[in-house]
Amino acid sequence: MMGYRRTSLMISDQKLAQLQVELQRMNVENQRLRDMLSQVTNNYNALQMHIVALMQQSRGTEANQEHEVVQGKPEEKKQEVVPRQFLDLGRSAEADEMSHSSSDERTRSATPQTNMETASVKNNGNQENSSFRDGKRVGREDSPDSESQGWNPSKVQKLNSPPSKGIDQSTEATMRKARVSVRARSEAPMITDGCQWRKYGQKMAKGNPCPRAYYRCTMAVGCPVRKQVQRCADDKTILITTYEGNHNHPLPPAAMAMASTTTAAASMLLSGSMSSADGLMNPNLLARAILPCSSSMATISASAPFPTVTLDLTHNPNTTQVQRPPTHFQVPFPGQPQNFAPATAPQFPQVFGQALYNQSKFSGLQLSQETVPSQLPQQLHPAQQPSLVDTVSAATAAITADPNFTAALAAAISSIIGGANGNNTTSTNAHNTSNRN
Give the span between the Cα atoms of 261 and 61, in whole angstroms. 25
Query: Looking at 38-46, 210-218, 252-260, 278-286, which segment touches DNA (CB under 7 A)?
Result: 210-218
Helix axes 75-98, 2-66, angle to 10 degrees: 170
Give the span between the Cα atoms of 289 and 353, in whole angstroms. 8
Q: Which is nearer to DNA, 5 or 136 (CB)?
A: 136
- 213 near DNA, rule: CB under 7 A: yes
Nearest approach, Cβ of 254 to DNA (angstroms)? 18
Q: Which is nearer to DNA, 134 or 168 (CB)?
A: 134
Buried b (16+ CB within 10 A) or exposed e, 87-120: bbbbbbbbbbbbeeeeeeeeeeebebebbbebbb
Binding DNA by CB under 7 A: which of 9, 204, 281, 430? Answer: 204
CA dihedral angle for residue 238, residue 283, residue 343, residue 96, rounded to 10 degrees = 50
Nearest approach, Cβ of 199 to DNA (angstroms)? 4
**Chain centroid to CA 152:** 15
- Any bridge partners for residue 166, and if so which? none
- 330 near DNA, rule: CB under 7 A: no
Nearest approach, Cβ of 401 to DNA (angstroms)? 18
**170 near 246, Cβ under 8 Å?**
no
Compute CA distances 118 → 88, 98, 239, 398, whole Å: 21, 10, 31, 13
Measured over the CA atoms of residue 335, residue 185, residue 41 and residue 101, the dihedral's sign is positive
List binders of DNA among 68-87 (CB under 7 A).
none
Binding DNA by CB under 7 A: which of 131, 152, 192, 267? Answer: 152
Binding DNA by CB under 7 A: which of 78, 91, 176, 212? Answer: 212
- 222 near DNA, rule: CB under 7 A: no
- 132 near DNA, rule: CB under 7 A: no
Binding DNA by CB under 7 A: which of 73, 100, 106, 158? Answer: 158
CA dihedral angle for residue 268, residue 425, residue 367, residue 240, rounded to 10 degrees = -10
Q: Which is nearer to DNA, 91 or 133 (CB)?
A: 133
Query: Looking at 71-79, 195-203, 249-257, 316-324, which segment touches DNA (CB under 7 A)?
Result: 195-203
Chain residues that interact with DNA, rule: CB under 7 A: 134-137, 139-141, 143, 145-146, 149, 152, 154-155, 158, 196-207, 212-214, 218, 226, 228
